[in-house]
Structure formats: C-alpha cells, structure tokens
C-alpha cells in the first residue's frame, strides 16, 4: 500500500471501462491465472451471458426490421394480432439464447400483452422499440467487453515484451537502431 500509484499500475495492469457518463463501469484484468480471491463478487462478462450469439443477433435484426414495418404502414386488427404473436415468440426465442441473469432482466423490462385484448399500433411500436433498445444495449455491452478484453490482452503482451531481454523482443526500438546503423536484418536484404 506504500507503493506509488504508477508502480502498482505496472505490476498489475488492467483496463478500466468507463460509461458515457464518465463513471467507471468495471475493469478487466489481464488473464494471468492469478486469483484475487474475490471471484464470487465479480460480475459475469456479458459475452458469457449470451449463450447463442448468432441466434440473438438474427432475432434482434428481425425485431428491428419489424419495428420499421410497424412504423411505416398502418396495421389492421389481424396484423396487430399477428405482430403480438411474433413479439411474444421472439421474446421466448431470445430467452433460449441468454443466460438466466439476462432472461430475468428481459422479463422485467418487456411486459407481455394481455391475451384477450388486441394491442394498438402505439402499444406494438412501444413494445418493439423497447425490445430493440434492450438488444442494442446488449450488443453495445458485448462490443465494450470485447474491446476491453482486447485492450487487456494488448497490455499483457506489452508487459511480456518488456520482460524479455533486449534484442529478443523484436521491439520498435531495436528495428529503429538497425535502420540507423545501416545493418540489414536478413542474409538477402
């Protein structure tokens, strides 16, 4: 605890994920096999919560297209009944590709239509827009997690390069010194 901040950061580099409001959403430490002992308190990465990403992407694209159709054309009663059925079956299919944590969140946010009433166009638009928004948030979360993992891997690679003895790493400093001295890197060059 007495070490300066920059020395601690070099010993255990990690990537901090910051949300649009500037608040820290979480961090990703490089995969090193060292357990910190608080694995139970960590959140599961969103990439691990989507069990069938291709299926979720397909359904998400379909729902987005349906929302555009609902906005573009007036719907008669039969169309609204059919869209209600499609919406319900889409949510069920989405749940098949998600982990229990995301299923619970989706169920809390997407309220089902009542069985006896035919939803209005406005209700259908709102339900579809809500589902599209939730899916887009999920996709952004996945992209953010993948980016953070990529940055953590890059930081780990840089740490491994710095640990190598000079001349072995093939770093940019070595290449620059070779070019300035006129030395060539291969027998044919």
Cα(50)–Cα(137) distance, rounded to whole angstroms?
13
The H or E element that residue 133 is part of is helix 121-163
Q: What is the pLDDT of residue 178?
A: 52
Q: How far apart are CA 186 and CA 53, in angstroms?
A: 45
CB 178 within 8 A of CB 185: yes
Percent of the chain whose pLDDT exceeds 90: 10
pLDDT per position as a tens digit, 44-70: 777 778 888 888 888 888 988 988 888
Query: What pLDDT sits at residue 180?
Result: 58
What pLDDT score does 33 carry?
A: 45
Q: Got the DSSP string for 33-79?
A: S---S-GGGSPPPHHHHBS-HHHHHHHHHHHHHHHHHHHHS---HHH
b/e sequence 66-81, b meaning 16+ C-beta within 10 Å: bbeebeeeebeeebbe
Provide the pLDDT for residue 70: 85
Residues of the chain with pLDDT under 70: 1-43, 168-189
| Cα 129 from chain centroid (whole Å) | 20
Give me 189's structure tokens. Answer: 């060059």
Confirm if 44 and 51 have CB atoms less than 8 A apart: no
């Amino acid at each position: 605890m007495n070490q300066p901040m920059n020395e601690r950061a070099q010993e255990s580099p990690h990537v901090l994920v910051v949300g649009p409001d500037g608040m820290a959403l979480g961090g990703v430490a490089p995969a090193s096999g060292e357990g910190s002992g608080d694995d139970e308190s960590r959140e599961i990465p969103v990439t691990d919560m989507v069990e069938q990403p291709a299926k979720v992407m397909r359904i998400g694209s379909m729902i987005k297209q349906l929302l555009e159709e609902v906005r573009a054309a007036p719907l008669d009663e039969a169309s609204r009944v059919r869209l209600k059925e499609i919406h319900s079956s889409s949510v069920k299919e989405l749940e098949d590709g998600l982990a229990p944590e995301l299923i619970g969140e989706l169920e809390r946010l997407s309220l089902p239509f009542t069985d006896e009433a035919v939803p209005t166009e406005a209700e259908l638009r709102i339900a579809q827009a809500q589902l599209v928004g939730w899916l887009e948030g999920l996709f952004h979360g996945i992209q953010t997690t993948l980016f953070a993992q990529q940055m953590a891997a890059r930081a780990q690679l840089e740490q491994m390069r710095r640990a190598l003895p000079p001349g072995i790493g093939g770093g940019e400093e070595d290449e620059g010194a070779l070019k300035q001295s006129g030395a060539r890197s291969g027998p044919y060059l």
